[in-house]
Amino acid sequence: MSRSSAGSSRALALACLIAEALAAGCKPGPAEPATIDEASGVAYHDGDLYIVDDSVNGAYFRIPLKGRIFGPVIPLNDMKPIRVELPEVGIWIDLEGIDFLADGRIVLLSERLHSLVGEEGLIAEYDYPLGEIGRRGLEGVAVRPAPEGASRIAVIWEGGYPERGSLHPLLEERVGGSAFRPLIFVHDLRPGERVGRIPMASGTTAVLDVPMPEGSEPDAQRFRAPDLVWYRWPGEPEKWGYIVLISSQNGVEKPQYLNHWLQRFGADGKPAGDHINIAEQVPGNISHANWEGLGWFTPGKSLVLVHEGTRTVGPHAFILELPPDWQTDM
């Protein structure tokens, strides 16, 4: 395929996604009440919480915390979040992650478009292997400074069981009922850079060796990975890895969601040490919540997590102090 033909194909694909978003009711309209329903990503920056909600297109929420009284459990809507809309609001759909680049730009991760977007529009489009398969795709983003003011960006392809009925029939024959392992893709961005499509060969990948509970698929619990943060190993300033939020379910018609853990992984995707069971850290009314977002609150010392709301319990943020042997200098 010629370069011009390839470019036309990508433009057509993006146009189709935009048309699909508009047909789904994503067309910009009057400002909606600033209410968070399905918190899917979180960042803490300069005294404010920043939240994305994967049911809200083209916008993020900001919650100022400076000078306010709050505990480790923060009911998000009681804090009166401020909705901030991006330009071309109807285009940026299915937002799953949020963070800040080293140059100060805010970035949001769109799972459906497998792209990073920001106030200036599209920043980076991830290559096709990182697109959605069976409604499983890119879920989390983490950023740390790199040399010469660049940003080192890690995005996580969540893995887990494909959603039932969402695969192409030919794929269903081959992989339906089998779980995928999560994958992390890492690349750099220079200050102010917008790069378009990023080939897989321009970054590095690590497949996560997540725990494998006993039993055969699709009845057995298998882990997916909704979000991550960069993590510098205690006492080893040059050794970087990740703390990853992992959640398990089975692949039956009415799945059970049993485990919500935090696990440390090395840069090679290998787990290190024991996990933290989130259900043992939070109040009982949110112990079985669908935890989707993870960010640093005090870098190296405490994390902030967010979960989706339900019909009976609204979404919360939870500030988790790390155990002493997990704490590190960031």
With a cut of 50, list the residues of the chain below it in pLDDT: 1-31
Please give the pLDDT value at position 169: 85
Q: Cβ(198)–Cβ(114) under 8 Å?
A: no
Number of domains composing the chain: 1
The pTM assigned to this predicted structure is: 0.88
Please give the pLDDT value at position 24: 42
Q: Is residue 150 part of a domain?
A: yes
Please give the pLDDT value at position 176: 73
Q: Is residue 322 part of a domain?
A: no
Q: Is residue 7 part of a domain?
A: no
Q: Is residue 75 part of a domain?
A: no
Domain ranges, residue 153: 93-313
Please give the pLDDT value at position 131: 95
pLDDT tens digits for 42-78?
Answer: 999 999 999 999 999 999 999 999 999 999 999 999 9
In angstroms, how far apart are the furthest CA atoms of the chain? Answer: 59
Please give the pLDDT value at position 63: 97
Q: Is residue 35 part of a domain?
A: no
Q: Is residue 100 part of a domain?
A: yes
